Structure 1
Amino acid sequence: MDLKINQQTKPMDIKSRVELIDITSYVEKEVENSRVREGVCIITTPHTCAGIIINENEPGILLDIVNFLDKLVHSGEVYEHNKIDNNADAHLKTLLLGSSEVIPVVEGKLELGAWQSIFFAEMDGPRDERRVNVIVIKK
């Protein structure tokens, strides 16, 4: 079975310490450009303080997500890693989020629910070297 694989990378310009950036339209465009009708789309980020999540793009829930993570992982705690970079909370929050998502491609479109959006979740900005990888694989 021959697989068709299309991979693209998008640089992310991060302005704040914590940002949830909707990348849905970018990912949809890459799926369209791949011309894959049936397959999967894999969205990843190769950073230990940034993640990829799927949720609703509604300001209240986005703030709730950030506040929830802050309650679980306090930035003011004493962490061993802070002796090196003072960003252990960002690493731990990203551990909870994960660094990738896999979404089916059906009839050339992402199989997302009505309210689902894809987000790049930065936990240790500002940064200018972040990136997102979108890989579309034909079934």
Structure 2
Amino acid sequence: MIVQHVDMIALTTHGQGFVDVTGEIAHWLAARTDGDGLVTLFLRHTSASLTIQENADPDVLRDLADTLDRLAPRDLPYLHSSEGPDDMPAHIRTMLTATSLAVPVKAGRMMLGTWQAIYLVEHRDRPHRREIALHFIGEARRR
């Protein structure tokens, strides 16, 4: 039988950077199924994003952050600046990355690669409360 589970998780970031949310997503998923299907994640914000990236070498995340800084620098004269100098660059960085991801699920576990993790990428300087909508569709929990 096909089932769907929809929920929301909220996280508080510490300002600009990468937050590994793999464990929270895996925990949510394990409580709902041990079957096969697809989990979709959707970030409900325009100045943060989601990505799947390497989880072994922290230099990868530093290099990604440095690249985003070069692609959307804070010191350009943006028209949209009412929320501070980090806001418009945050919108650009979100546009360059993603606000949704879909991950296959097998036996209740995400089929991420060995070195992959799911990150919420905070593009603003100060802490924010961020919400991720989760949707699993797939097999019902086997009893």
Q: What TM-score results when the alignment is normalised by the length of structure 2? A: 0.87
Whether 1:4 and 2:10 are equivalent positions in the alignment is no
**What are structure 2's unaligned runs of at least 5 residues?**
none
Alignment of 1:77-116 (within 5 A): 77-82=76-81, 84-86=82-84, 87-116=87-116
Counterpart contact for 1:36–1:137, Cα < 8 Å: no
Q: What TM-score results when the alignment is normalised by the length of structure 1? A: 0.90
**Equivalenced residues, count:** 136
CA distances 1:2-55 after superposition (whole Å, capped 9, x unpaired): 741112322211222x12000111111111111151110111110000111000
- Give the Cα separation in 2 of the matches to 1:45 and 1:36: 24
Counterpart contact for 2:13–2:128, Cα < 8 Å: yes
- Give the Cα separation in 1 of the matches to 2:109 and 2:59: 27
Q: Which residue of 1 aligns with 2:69?
A: 70
Call closer, same or farther: CA 1:48–1:98 in 2, change over 3 Å: same
Counterpart contact for 1:44–1:134, Cα < 8 Å: yes
CA distances 1:33-84 after superposition (whole Å, capped 9, x unpaired): 11151110111110000111000122100101100101111111111212x3
- Give the Cα separation in 2 of the matches to 1:3 and 1:100: 22
Q: Which residue of 2 aligns with 1:25?
A: 23
Aligned-residue CA RMSD in angstroms? 1.5
Q: Which residue of 2 aligns with 1:118?
A: 118
Aligned residues: percent identity? 24
Offset of residue 131 of structure 1: 1.5
Whether 1:50 and 2:48 are equivalent positions in the alignment is yes
- Give the Cα separation in 2 of the matches to 1:125 and 1:8: 27
